[in-house]
Each structure stands twice: as structure tokens, then as C-alpha cells.
């Protein structure tokens, strides 16, 4: 073998200074901050705020919104943490409570809508448009997030990518609520979740090559 | 490993992040026994352990920007060594699953005619010509990995090709050699 001695000499001989990555929480906050600014511009320019404010008066609707947004924020933080070699895989559980809150409150709201509206409360509202929205917003958000996560060259890229996918899809689902002038039905909710799942699957597949700098 | 040693390694890595080659050289030499000890938990043979230990060193080199001097170095190092050992184990299992042991491949036969195929493969001239006919990257992969029997990390360091590129080149070279030798057999028949 050229032996490990030779390899060490070669690695040390070619050594170049590297820029140390900033703490993951700070990097996540910077990305979330930029997305927050862009979201405010989008909402201020295009959202139907009176309708949204009317819907947001319902505390259960607010609970759903909080669950959606928290899932997005926590999943993005978890993705940054998981991208580093020495962080616990348990970070993957960080968004689970808020995800349960989101799904639980959405399901309750759907059930209530069904009870109030009868059979009309069960059919599809504009669920397909919502699906398109979440995927269309989730993918570019995901690409921008991948660019940052890639710098860590994750040793296990697939969980990182899946977590990033959950984060961006949840943020897209949260933004959707500002452009969603009706209460969701079960079919709508299923399509929302299907869209989130689609983004997670796409991100997971993309992560295999997009984040895996160590592939061999 | 005691925490003082871990702290010292952390300081060496922090210096290496800044481009200090002496610190990096010393660090990699000092951590090598620790890496081997972790790798040995998953891999049995000495060659295999050395191969994976070299892969761990290459990984450390690639992800050295992720080390935070405010955190324990040993945990960072241990996580990388453990992870790459498991990855190597998985690759090994996958590779073994795709290979079949065939005792017939090692048999020869009393009838010279029956040995014709095997003889053709054993003809070093034919093989040397077949290797010489390969594209440069594939030829280099065969020479380093199969003829000189270097590890992937060593071959990568010697050729300047990445480990992944070497694997691809070797795979293509083997396919090309099979095709060339197959044609040769056809002509001999």
C-alpha cells in the first residue's frame, strides 16, 4: 500500500485554509429571515388580508397556522443540525409535536366543516390548486435551502434532505393560508398533505445526489 | 482517549482549518490509531481496516470545515469514523449480494480441449494487449487497483482520480475486458 503514511503526507501537503461553518442555528435563522422578508413582501402585495383576518379570528384556525409555521421552522433547524457529523439523529424528532398539532387541528377543522356544511364539506374545494401551490413554492425554496446545506457535505444526506423537504413544504403550506379564502375539506387536507409528502419525496431523492458530496 | 488529548486534537484541527500543514500532519498521525480502533469494531481483516481508515481520513479532509472548536473534537471524529465504517460495511454487503461463488470457475479438465477457454484467459499476452487497448483512465484503474493491488484511497492519491471515478473506471474496464476476451475466445473457437 502507499500506505496511510503517504496519504497523510499528501493530505497535509495539499492543505488549504477552509471557512469554518457558522453554528447551524444561526445559519437556519439567516435562511428563515430571508424567507420571512420575501414572504412579507408577497403577502403585502398579493394576499386578501380582510378574508384572512376573518378566518384567523377562529382560534382553531390559528392553532393550525401555528402548527404549520412551527413545523416549517423546526424542520429547517433540524435539517441544519442533522447536516453536521457530530449532531444526534434525534434532531429529526424536533418538528414532530408541531406536525401533530398541524395535522390534528386541520383534521378537526375539516370534521367541523363537514358537520356544518354536510356533504359539501367533504368534497374537494380547490385542493388541486393548493397542491400545485405547495409544490411550486416548495421546490424553489428547497433548492435555496439545499445550496446552504450542501456546504456541510452531510455524511447522511437523505434524512437531511427529507427534513429540508418537510421544512419548505410546511412553509409553503403556511403561506398558502394567506391566499386560501375558504375552509379546507378532508379532500383538501389530504391534497395539502400529499403535496407536502411529494416535496419531501422529491427532496429526499434530490438529496441522494444533490447533498451527497461524499458519494463513492 | 482522555479529554486533554481530545482538546489538543481540537486545537490542532482549528489550526488546520486555518491552513497550518504541520498541525494537520501531526493531527492525522495522532488520530489514526483511534480511527483504526473504531473501524476494527466493524471490519475484521487488516487490509479492510486500513482501507476504511484511509476513507475516514479522506472524509475528515473533505468535511473539516464542519468542525466547531467550541465542541468536543472526539465526538466529531468518532461520529465520522463510525459512520464511514458502517457505510463501508453496507457497500460490502451490497457488493457481496451481487457476486456468486462458482466452484466451476476454479476447475480445469483432463481433456485439453475443455481447458481451451481457461487457457485463453490465462494467456498473459492476450490480457496485456487487452489492458493496453483500454482508455487511459480505465487502464490506470486496472493497473493500480488490480495489478498493484492498491486500496481505493491509495489509488486515488496516486492517480489524482476520485474514489468514485476510480470505481466507475474499474467497472467499465472490467466490462470492456470481458468483451475483448469474449471476442478473443470466439476467434479461438
The 3-state secondary structure of chain B, one letter per residue:
CCHHHHHHHHHHHHHHHCCCHHHHHHHHHHHHHHHHHHHHCCCCCHHHHHHHHHHHHHHHHHCHHHCCCCCCHHHHHHHHHHHHHHHHHHHHHHHHHCCCCCHHHHCCCCCHHHHHHHHHHHCHHHHHHHHHCCCHHHHHHHHHHHHCCCCHHHHHHHHCCCHHHHHHHHHHHHHHHHHHHHHHHHHHC
Residue A215 scores a pLDDT above 50:
no
Q: Does the pLDDT value for residue A94 go beyond 60? A: yes
User: How large is the average pLDDT for residues B162-176?
Assistant: 81
pLDDT at B39: 94
Number of CB atoms found within 10 A of residue B133's CB: 12
Q: What is the distance between the alpha carbons of residues B152 and B145, in angstroms, rounded to a whole number?
A: 7
Q: What mean pLDDT comes out for the span A128-154?
A: 85
- CB contact under 8 Å between B21 and A18, yes or no, is no
In this prediction, residue A28 carries a pLDDT of 97
Handedness of CA A76, A79, A81, A87 (dihedral sign): positive
Picking from B50, B54, B66, the nearest residue to A21 by CB comes out as: B66
**pLDDT band at B70; cut points 50, 70, 90:** very high
* Helix axes of A186-210 and A127-149: crossing angle, nearest 10 degrees: 20
Q: Is the pLDDT of residue B186 over 60?
A: no
The ipTM (two decimal places) reads: 0.78
Q: Which of A10, A14, A86, A153 to mutate to test the interface with B (most CBs of B within 10 A)?
A: A86
Q: Which residues of B touch A13 (CB under 8 A)?
A: 21
Please list, in sequence order, all residues whose beta carbon lies within 8 angstroms of the beta carbon of residue B135, skipping any fewer than 6 positions away.
none
Q: Name which of B25, B53, B65 is nearest A18 (Cβ-Cβ).
A: B65
- Which residues are within 8 A (CB) of A45 and not within 5 positions of it... i.e. 6 or more apart? none
pTM listed for this prediction? 0.71
Q: Do B24 and A12 touch (CB under 8 A)?
A: yes
What are the tens digits of pLDDT across the range A36-81?
999 999 988 888 888 788 877 877 788 888 999 999 999 999 999 9
- Are the C-beta atoms of residues A79 and A164 closer than 8 Å to each other? yes
User: What mean pLDDT is reported for chain B?
Assistant: 82
Q: Going along B26-173, which residue ranges are E strands?
A: none
Flag whether pLDDT at B189 surpasses 70: no
Q: Which three cell numbers stand for residue A200?
A: 419531501
How many cross-chain Cβ pairs, A to B, lie less than 8 Å apart? Answer: 99
The DSSP call for residue A212 is -
A11-29: pLDDT as tens digits: 999 899 999 999 999 999 9
Q: What CA–CA distances, in Å, run from A45 to A31, A133, A137?
A: 21, 17, 16
Taking the C-alpha atoms of residue A214 and residue B59, their distance in angstroms, rounded to an integer, is 7
CB nearest A213 (choices: B62, B67, B69): B62
Rg (CA), chain A: 20
Percent of chain A residues topping a pLDDT of 70: 82
Nearest CA in chain A to B58: A11
Inter-chain touch B66–A11, beta carbons under 8 Å: no
Amino acid at each position: 500500500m502507499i500506505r496511510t503514511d503517504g496519504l497523510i503526507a499528501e493530505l497535509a501537503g495539499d492543505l488549504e485554509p477552509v471557512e469554518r461553518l457558522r453554528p447551524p442555528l444561526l445559519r437556519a435563522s439567516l435562511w428563515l429571515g430571508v424567507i420571512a422578508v420575501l414572504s412579507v413582501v408577497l403577502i403585502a402585495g398579493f394576499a386578501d388580508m380582510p378574508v384572512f383576518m376573518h378566518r384567523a379570528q377562529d382560534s382553531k384556525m390559528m392553532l393550525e397556522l401555528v402548527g404549520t409555521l412551527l413545523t416549517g421552522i423546526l424542520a429547517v433547524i433540524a435539517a441544519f443540525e442533522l447536516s453536521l457529523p457530530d449532531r444526534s439523529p434525534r434532531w429529526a424528532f424536533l418538528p414532530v409535536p408541531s406536525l401533530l398539532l398541524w395535522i390534528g387541528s386541520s383534521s378537526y377543522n375539516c370534521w367541523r366543516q363537514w358537520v356544518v356544511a354536510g356533504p359539501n364539506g367533504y368534497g374537494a374545494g380547490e385542493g388541486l390548486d393548493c397542491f400545485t401551490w405547495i409544490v411550486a413554492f416548495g421546490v424553489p425554496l428547497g433548492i435555496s435551502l439545499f445550496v446552504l446545506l450542501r456546504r456541510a457535505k452531510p455524511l447522511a444526506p437523505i434524512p437531511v434532505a427529507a427534513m429540508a423537504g418537510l421544512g419548505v413544504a410546511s412553509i409553503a403550506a403556511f403561506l398558502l393560508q394567506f391566499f386560501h379564502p375558504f375552509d379546507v375539506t378532508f379532500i383538501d387536507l389530504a391534497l395539502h398533505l400529499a403535496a407536502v409528502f411529494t416535496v419531501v419525496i422529491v427532496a429526499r431523492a434530490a438529496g441522494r445526489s444533490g447533498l451527497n458530496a461524499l458519494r463513492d | 482517549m482522555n479529554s486533554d488529548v481530545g482538546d489538543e486534537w481540537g486545537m490542532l484541527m482549528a489550526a488546520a482549518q486555518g491552513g497550518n500543514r504541520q498541525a494537520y500532519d501531526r493531527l492525522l498521525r495522532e488520530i489514526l490509531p483511534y480511527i483504526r480502533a473504531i473501524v476494527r469494531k466493524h471490519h475484521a481483516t487488516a487490509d479492510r481496516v486500513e482501507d476504511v481508515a484511509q476513507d475516514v481520513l479522506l472524509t475528515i479532509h473533505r468535511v473539516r470545515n464542519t468542525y466547531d472548536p467550541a465542541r468536543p473534537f472526539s465526538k466529531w471524529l468518532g461520529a465520522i469514523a463510525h459512520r464511514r465504517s458502517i457505510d463501508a460495511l453496507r457497500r460490502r454487503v451490497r457488493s457481496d449480494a451481487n457476486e456468486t461463488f462458482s466452484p466451476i470457475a476454479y476447475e480445469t479438465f483432463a481433456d485439453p480441449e475443455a481447458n481451451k477457454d481457461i487457457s485463453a484467459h490465462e494467456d498473459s499476452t492476450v490480457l496485456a494487449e487487452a489492458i493496453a487497448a483500454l482508455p487511459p483512465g480505465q487502464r490506470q484503474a486496472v493497473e493500480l487497483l488490480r495489478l498493484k493491488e492498491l486500496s481505493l484511497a491509495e489509488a486515488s492519491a496516486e492517480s489524482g482520480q476520485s474514489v468514485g471515478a476510480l470505481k466507475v473506471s474499474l467497472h467499465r474496464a472490467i466490462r470492456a475486458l470481458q468483451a475483448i476476451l469474449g471476442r478473443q475466445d470466439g476467434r479461438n473457437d
